[in-house]
Structure 1
Amino acid sequence: MDAIFSCLLLLATLFLSLSLIFRVNKRNLGSPKLPPGKTGWPLVGESIVLTMAGPEKFIKDRMRKYSPEVFQTSLLGEKMAVFCGAKGNKFLFSNENTLLTSWWPLSLKKVLLFPSFVDDPIKEVGELSRGFLHDILKPEALKHYIPVMDSMARQHLDEEWTPHGEVKVFLVSKKYTFGLACELFMSINNPDHIARLANPFTLITSGIFSVPIDLPGTAYNRAIKGGKMVRNEILMIIRERRKELLENKETTYHDMLSRMLLVTHENGEFMNEMEIYHNIMGLLVASYETTSAAVTFVMNYLAELPHIYDGVFKEQMEIAKSKGPGELLNWEDIEKMKYSWNVAREALRLMPPALGAFREATTDFTYAGFTIPKGWKTFWTVNSTHKNPKYFPNPEKFDPSRFEGSGPAPFTFVPFGGGPRMCPGKEYARLEVLVFMHNVVTRFKLEKAIANEKMIFRSSLTPMNGVPVRIHPHEN
């Protein structure tokens, strides 16, 4: 009996030893080497840490601690590989539609899209949207919008700036950029109608990238309610406009909505309501949050740095003096605003309104010696290059000359992304920012009311006090 027991014990020990050897070899030889990092708490991951620390510190700390090329984390309930530096940006931009595909967080999809779209693939709609948006947002298509932008900027300053000695730029710029978007995209210029669309956007932008916990009182729950309100309003506008077109009553509109209603697929079918809504909603979200933030941060530096303001003022006054009384800006005027655009780009480098974008790995692939498994999400971020001294010496200094000549090295300045999925609204944002700069500096001298105002992170970089500035009208 003892001999049998000893034999069984020996076999068990041998089996256990072989099993351990097999596991070690499998781990060393066959298991993927994942990027270094940590995933934080269940469900929420490191989303709260990102919000509390701010994206710039969050990225910089992990690049230093784990890897300057790629690290892993968990955000918005997903395992994620964060790609860093110009090489990381180039890799993701260059492998779109081969190793990677577009991915939207559940919080964003459920807030913005139709309920039936949340669990279904949206690639087909997304691809149609991007192709169409690139066509209607390219420079030659936007040229005739410049006088409208100029006229509305003048009206906005008359109503929101001139009567006051001080304005909160972030608040009034949202009103301007969103009102302009409603006019150009849907020919809506009634203040009450604009307000019915604008008010829910506050709820949307506050919870669009929150942890997707749909409970009463959460930012995510409020964002879903705001999204439903906007969706119903836009659908009503689309249906009314389509009815007018079918009845041949629509003869005066020249906005983007009318163009969307007339565009067809390769099979000759018109875009459906969901596709049109998807396009319009994307444009409005960008106008409400990122474009208004871009305008705000440019004004922030013009108020903070007198020598920068003086350079912009000189350039813009030369353009103003070349115009006749009441004559509006045109494309040729925009092309003369080279220094002003360098100033705007430097503001976007230091205070980028958008942080980056997500993708999903469609297959296992290797980068920098690490394996990114299929199904993992990836994230490229402006915060790994925009203030990196490797790419921008003395990165905290505001220096528009960085953009003279050939400008920054490729894939280092990426406020609009890059590759096939570069933001289609880049040119629209450029025109809007430059037109607004022209109108402000030719009418006012700016002075910051709060020095060193703190920036906080919500869904994007947000000035805590709204960038209050004192405005001093120029003497005629």
Structure 2
Amino acid sequence: MTDKEIRGNLLDIFLGGSDTTASLFCYITYYVCKHPEVKQKMLSEIDSVLPNFSDKIYKQEDLNKLNYCKAVVMEAARLMPPISIGIRHITKEFDIAGYKWPAGTNFHLNIKGAQRHPEFWNNPEVFNPDRFYNNENDTSQIIIWGGGKRICPGKSLSTIESLLFIALVYKNYNVELVNPNDPLKFVAAMVISCSELKVRISPRT
């Protein structure tokens, strides 16, 4: 890669990854607060893996041990992918799904639809991190980051950021939805942005 390409990728990571990661954390918070059993299992893992964790002590190898928290991230990203559409452009003729597509065709991939499709997921509308924690589903089935040589260069950064946010917030604070019965509020375009999430935060004792 040239220096210009490297700079472009880094810019995409930090600019393209800020709003999407922020929205993903909102979705994680919403679903965790709606499912107390998930929240308790997540807190138990954080307390077990990071007993002395604080905002001044952070090691990536410790965060990588948060397997259930990682499953929570994957399941929230499955149900509410911050990126709703993937775009692919073919430069030569291809046979796809029984049709012959000419060079120059653009494909828009319905990421949210694919990640909730009942042919590939059991109870697709249910928030269930165990589907990843128990290896019922491979995390490679989450396609918001793309795949192959076109995979998002910020995938690892996004995952680590989400785990760090979970550890920092839930280790130190009790987080509850102000209105638990309110639906999740978001604005859907190419990016599915969380538009409003009202939470009540208090120190965790």
Aligning the two structures, in what range does the TM-score lie when normalised by the shorter sequence?
A: 0.7 to 0.9
1:369 equivalent in alignment to 2:101: no
Partner Cα distance (1:295, 1:329) in 2: 19
Whether contact under 8 Å (2:67, 2:133) holds in the other structure is no
User: What's the offset of the Cα at 1:457?
Assistant: 1.0
1:316 equivalent in alignment to 2:39: no
Report what 1:55 is aligned to. none
Q: Which amino acid aligns with 2:191?
A: S
Provide closer, same or farther for how the CA distance between residues 329 and 302 of structure 1 changes in structure 2, counting only shifts above 3 A.
same
Q: Tell me, which stretches of 5 or more residues in structure 1 are unaligned? A: 1-127, 129-264, 266-270
User: What's the offset of the Cα at 1:281?
Assistant: 2.5
Partner Cα distance (1:410, 1:317) in 2: 24
| SS of equivalent residue, structure 1 residue 308 | helix
1:288 equivalent in alignment to 2:21: no
Task: Provide the aligned C-alpha RMSD in A.
Answer: 2.2
1:471 equivalent in alignment to 2:191: no
Indicate which of 186, 192, 195 corresponds to 1:461. Answer: 192
Partner Cα distance (1:411, 1:317) in 2: 28
For residues 293-442 of structure 1, what are the structure 2 equivalents within 5 Å?
293-322=23-52, 328-408=57-137, 412-442=141-171
User: What's the offset of the Cα at 1:422?
Assistant: 1.3
| Structure 1 moving runs of 4+ over 6 Å | none
User: What's the offset of the Cα at 1:302?
Assistant: 2.1
Partner Cα distance (1:474, 1:366) in 2: 56
User: What's the offset of the Cα at 1:403?
Assistant: 0.6
Provide closer, same or farther for how the CA distance between residues 458 and 452 of structure 1 changes in structure 2, counting only shifts above 3 A.
same
| SS of equivalent residue, structure 1 residue 416 | coil
**TM value normalised by structure 2:** 0.88
**TM value normalised by structure 1:** 0.40
Structure ID, larger Rg = 1
| SS of equivalent residue, structure 2 residue 143 | coil
User: What's the offset of the Cα at 1:335?
Assistant: 2.3
Whether contact under 8 Å (1:391, 1:412) holds in the other structure is no
Partner Cα distance (1:377, 1:302) in 2: 37
Whether contact under 8 Å (2:26, 2:197) holds in the other structure is yes
User: What's the offset of the Cα at 1:372?
Assistant: 1.0
| SS of equivalent residue, structure 2 residue 13 | helix
Provide closer, same or farther for how the CA distance between residues 387 and 365 of structure 1 changes in structure 2, counting only shifts above 3 A.
same
Q: How many residues are matched?
A: 203
User: What's the offset of the Cα at 1:319?
Assistant: 2.9
Provide closer, same or farther for how the CA distance between residues 404 and 460 of structure 1 changes in structure 2, counting only shifts above 3 A.
same
User: What's the offset of the Cα at 1:435?
Assistant: 0.8
| SS of equivalent residue, structure 2 residue 183 | coil
For residues 4-153 of structure 1, what are the structure 2 equivalents within 5 Å?
128=1
Provide closer, same or farther for how the CA distance between residues 347 and 397 of structure 1 changes in structure 2, counting only shifts above 3 A.
same
Partner Cα distance (1:338, 1:280) in 2: 27
Partner Cα distance (1:347, 1:408) in 2: 14
User: What's the offset of the Cα at 1:423?
Assistant: 1.3
Higher helix share: 1
Whether contact under 8 Å (2:86, 2:111) holds in the other structure is no
Partner Cα distance (2:127, 2:139) in 1: 20
